[in-house]
Amino acid sequence: MASQDADATRTDQLQFQNPKTRYPSIEPPEQTQPEPGLDAEMLPQADIGEFSYRGTGRLVDRKALVSGGDSGIGAAVAVAFAREGADVAITYLPQEEEDAQNVARIIRDSGRQAVTLPGDLTDASFCREVVEQAVEQLGGLDILVNNAGKQVVAESLEELPDEQVEQTYQANILAMFRTTRAALPHLPAGATIINSTSIQAYQPSPDLIDYASTKAAINAFTKGMAMQLADKGIRVNAVAPGPIWTPLQPSKGQPIEELPEFGKDTALGRAGQPTELAPAYVFLASPESSYVLGSTIHVNGGKPSP
Ligand code: NAD
Ligand code: MG
Residue 133 Cβ inside 6 Å of ligand 1? The answer reads no
Listed in sequence order, the residues at least 6 apart from 246 whose beta carbon sits closer than 8 Å to its beta carbon are 39, 46, 71, 72, 73, 274
Tally of domains in the chain: 1
Q: 4 in a domain, yes or no? A: no
What count of other Cβ atoms lies within 10 Å of the Cβ of residue 96? 23
Q: 45 in a domain, yes or no? A: yes
Considering the candidates 92, 211, 281, 291, report the single residue annotated as catalytic.
211
Residue span of the structural domain in which 111 resides: 36-299
32 CA from centroid of ligand 1 (Å) = 16
Q: 275 in a domain, yes or no? A: yes
What is the per-residue pLDDT for 306? 87
The minimum-distance atom of ligand 1 relative to the CA of 76 is 26
What is the per-residue pLDDT for 10? 59
Identify the three-state secondary structure at position 116. strand
pLDDT in tens, 113-154: 999 999 999 999 999 999 999 999 999 999 999 999 999 999
Residue 195 Cβ inside 6 Å of ligand 1? The answer reads no
CA distance 4 to 302: 30
170 CA from centroid of ligand 2 (Å) = 17
CATH number at residue 193: 3.40.50.720
Q: 291 in a domain, yes or no? A: yes
What is the per-residue pLDDT for 184? 98
Counting ligand 1 atoms within 8 A of each CB, the residue from 32, 73, 251 with the most, and so the one to mutate, is 73
227 CA from centroid of ligand 2 (Å) = 31
Q: 280 in a domain, yes or no? A: yes
Q: 25 in a domain, yes or no? A: no
Q: 118 in a domain, yes or no? A: yes
Closest residue by CA, ligand 1 atom 22: 148
79 CA from centroid of ligand 2 (Å) = 14
The number of the ligand nearest the C-alpha atom of 124 reads 1
Q: How far is CA 273 from CA 13, 79, 129, 219, in A?
A: 12, 14, 31, 23
- Closest by Cα among 36, 29, 26, 31 to 151: 36
Alpha-helical runs (H) found in 110-201? 124-138, 162-169, 175-183
0.95 surpassed by pTM: yes
What is the bridge-based pairing of β-strands 63-66 and 114-118?
A: unpaired
Residue 121 Cβ inside 6 Å of ligand 1? The answer reads yes
Q: Edge to edge, what strands does the sheet with 296-299 contain?
A: 114-118, 87-92, 63-66, 143-146, 192-196, 235-241, 296-299
Residue 122 Cβ inside 6 Å of ligand 1? The answer reads yes
What is the per-residue pLDDT for 11? 83
Annotation marks residue 281 as catalytic: no
Residue 198 Cβ inside 6 Å of ligand 1? The answer reads yes
For 106, which DSSP code? H
The torsion angles phi and psi of 255, rounded to 5 degrees, stand at -60, 135
pLDDT (tens digit, 0 to 9) for every residue of the chain, 306 residues total? 333 443 445 589 999 999 999 999 999 999 999 999 999 999 999 999 999 999 999 999 999 999 999 999 999 999 999 999 999 999 999 999 999 999 999 999 999 999 999 999 999 999 999 999 999 999 999 999 999 999 999 999 999 999 999 999 999 999 999 999 999 999 999 999 999 999 999 999 999 999 999 999 999 999 999 999 999 999 999 999 999 999 999 999 999 999 999 999 999 999 999 999 999 999 999 999 999 999 999 999 999 998
The number of the ligand nearest the C-alpha atom of 214 reads 1
Q: 18 in a domain, yes or no? A: no
Question: Is omega for the bond preceding 36 within 30 degrees of 0, making it cis?
Answer: yes
What is the per-residue pLDDT for 263? 98
